Structure 1
Amino acid sequence: MLTVLAGLGLGLSLIVAIGAQNVFVLRQGIRREHVLAVVIVCAVSDAVLIAAGVAGLGFLLQAAPWLVVVARVAGALFLFGYGLLAARRAWRGGEVLAVDASSPADGTGTGRSAGGTATATRSGTRLAPVLLTVLALTWLNPHVYLDTVLMLGSIAATHGEQRWLFAAGAILASALWFTALGFGARYLGRWLRTERSWRVLDAVIAVIMVALAVSLILPVFGG
């Protein structure tokens, strides 16, 4: 049990931070759009990466550091592009939360806010582009391989035969976090009922994404 709790604690300490993946999950939760699918993709992806780290993939990354460099460049380019799209949304506007007391909280694109009245009104995004985006934000992020695979896998190895219990705790932490983040974000809807609020949110997202892109690419050039 203590091994599971250790994995849970380390998993939360690694995942509860401002990052591209968390920002995207938060935005989808606020929009109440494909939330369940996004949460499942994030949780399953983390489970696969954690299992890979415990199984020994971390040693491969240590032996072939160029893989991390490739991931950094690809991840930086993707984050920069996503940041530009967010900046474009912030500049053009067009999103707003309207009042509709009859909409159910189903996480499929519409739903009640904390007060039970707000629903998201916008041109809906299809599921496929959303899933492709969250997959890219997850698998093109080199920090995922450094933290989830290499670091967590190495620490799990110190638990010997109980390393898979440690991994189970870390996987549970990921599932709990993404569920709370995705479905808890809808309660922010009360503050996002105006187009200006959404433009500010997208502007913040743009800054975060571009800053993350820069932080990824600088070590490649020795910065």
Structure 2
Amino acid sequence: MKPILHGMMLAFGLILPLGVQNVFIFNQGATHKRFSNALPAIITAGICDTILILLAVAGVSIMILTFEWLRTFLFLIGFFFLAYMGWLMWKSTSEVRNDQNSNHFSTKRQIMFAASVSLLNPHAILDTIGVIGTSSLVYVGFDKWLFTVSCIGVSWIWFFTLAIIGKKIEHIDTSGILLKRMNQVSALIIWGMAVYMGLQLF
């Protein structure tokens, strides 16, 4: 029972802050006419988090990030990608959904963006290593698996919850004004992360 509670608390503490990944998943839930259309983003984010957690517990990711040039490369790619993503969020609009289609991301773009915001965020990777990877060292055998599965389970539940909340707000905001403003706030948050990453290069 202890490994399960420990894993859930750590994972929830890491994933709760309003980051680029959370903003993107919430946005997809809010802007799609059907919840199922947001599943590519949700599933991709869940898979990416699962991979990061497994690598952290296995100790593989910490060896990769010991290379300074690789960390710099991740920050550089992350900066340009987030700047572009922020621009897309800013220009996107949410319209009243009768027979009209909103300006939402296609399945291919959802997968690409969800994977990118999950894997091109050096701080998220370092947090996973520093907290989940290090904490897993106190467990062995079956307890380590319970700890790992708990962390992964929290990620998946959280992403589905975010998208559902976004969908509920979409139903409340029939005019589309609130969602448009939320897109703009999301863009500002993403640009802020891009600037922060850019500063790390210097």
Tell me the TM-score normalised to structure 1 length: 0.80
Equivalent residues of 2:31, 2:104 under 8 A apart: no
Residues 1:73 and 2:76 are matched in the alignment: yes
1:62 Cα offset (Å): 5.1
1:86 Cα offset (Å): 2.1
Larger radius of gyration: 1
Match of residue 184 from structure 1: 165
Equivalent residues of 1:58, 1:150 under 8 A apart: no
Q: Which structure has the highest helix share of the two? A: 2
Match of residue 18 from structure 2: 18
Match of 2:132 among 152, 160, 170: 152
CA offsets per residue over residues 55-99 of structure 1, 9 Å max, x none?
11243045323322221111111011111222233xxx4x31336
**Matches of residues 19-38 of structure 1 in structure 2 within 5 Å?**
19-32=19-32, 34-38=37-41
**Matches of residues 1-16 of structure 1 in structure 2 within 5 Å?**
1-16=1-16
Q: Counterparts of 1:39 and 1:163 in 2: how far apart (Å)?
A: 26
Q: Counterparts of 1:149 and 1:143 in 2: how far apart (Å)?
A: 10
Q: CA RMSD in A?
A: 2.1
Equivalent residues of 1:4, 1:165 under 8 A apart: yes
1:191 Cα offset (Å): 4.1
Equivalent residues of 2:170, 2:179 under 8 A apart: no
Q: Structure 1 regions of 5+ residues with no counterpart?
A: 101-119
Look up the equivalent residue of 1:50 and give its one-letter code.
I
Structure 2 residue matching 1:96: 3-state secondary structure: coil
Look up the equivalent residue of 1:25 and give its one-letter code.
I
Cα distance 1:72–1:123, how it changes in 2: closer, same or farther (>3 A)?
closer
Q: Percent identity?
A: 26
Structure 1 residue matching 2:196: 3-state secondary structure: helix
Deviant stretches of 4+, over 4 Å: none
Structure 2 residue matching 1:97: 3-state secondary structure: coil
How many residue pairs align between the two structures? 198
1:183 Cα offset (Å): 2.0
Residues 1:57 and 2:60 are matched in the alignment: yes
